[in-house]
């Protein structure tokens, strides 16, 4: 019994030493493999090109327009409009007085009703929580949309828009009656 009590701890120490030896050799093999891989792989890093030198430009507000001014924006719109006017499609549209509903996008407006005013059909359009009376010939939306026809359930209008090639073309749009929009 005494001999087995002495043998057990020795057996346990021998087992731990054997397991430690196996673990250390596995780690050493892995470290050797990683070192070999690092030595065989040659990184190919392309050099970064030199940055272009920044050349600041002096801004003199007397000679040029500020890039943030409303005048520059309106000048840009005028230039665009004059180019469009040259196409002939917008010639009459550019020179006329704008109507209040042309300042708003068409998708923010809803047709909410229809009236008969002195024998003429008038549509009721809600925009910005206000009601407007619209007749054929009035303009709606930001694309030079002219009302061509009003029926019981829709307003038909002709818009002038740019296509993908930058050419000005006509397209037909409608504003449908929205039932149950009374607020």
Task: For residue range 66-125, list pLDDT tens digits in order.
Answer: 767 777 777 767 666 655 554 666 777 777 889 999 999 999 999 999 998 888 899 999
Average pLDDT over residues 12-36: 74
Instruction: Please answer whether residues 143 and 158 qualify as being in contact, where contact means their C-beta atoms are separated by less than 8 angstroms.
Output: no
Is the pLDDT reported for residue 16 higher than 70? no
Where exactly are the structural domains of the chain?
Answer: 67-96, 99-176
Task: For residue range 113-168, list pLDDT tens digits in order.
Answer: 999 888 889 999 999 999 999 999 999 999 999 999 999 999 999 998 887 777 77
Inter-CA distances, 18 with 5, 120, 157, Å: 21, 105, 91
CA distance 169 to 95: 18
H/E stretch holding 150: strand 145-150
H/E stretch holding 9: helix 2-40
pLDDT of residue 126: 94
pLDDT of residue 155: 94
pTM for the structure as a whole: 0.51
What is 99-176's CATH number?
2.30.30.830
């Amino acid at each position: 019994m005494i001999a087995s009590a002495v043998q057990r701890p020795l057996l346990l120490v021998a087992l731990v030493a054997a397991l430690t030896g196996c673990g250390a050799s596995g780690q050493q093999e892995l470290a050797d493999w990683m070192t070999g891989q690092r030595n065989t792989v040659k990184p190919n890093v392309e050099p970064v090109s030199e940055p272009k030198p920044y050349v600041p430009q002096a801004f003199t507000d007397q000679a040029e327009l500020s890039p943030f001014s409303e005048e520059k924006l309106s000048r840009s719109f005028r230039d665009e409009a004059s180019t469009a006017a040259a196409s002939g499609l917008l010639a009459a549209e550019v020179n006329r007085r704008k109507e209040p509903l042309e300042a708003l996008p068409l998708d923010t407006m809803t047709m909410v009703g229809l009236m008969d005013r002195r024998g003429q059909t008038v549509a009721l359009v809600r925009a910005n929580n206000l009601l407007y009376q619209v007749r054929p010939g009035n303009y709606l939306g930001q694309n030079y949309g002219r009302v061509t026809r009003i029926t019981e359930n829709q307003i038909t209008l002709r818009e002038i828009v740019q296509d993908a090639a930058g050419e000005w073309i006509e397209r037909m749009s409608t504003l449908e009656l929205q039932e149950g929009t009374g607020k």
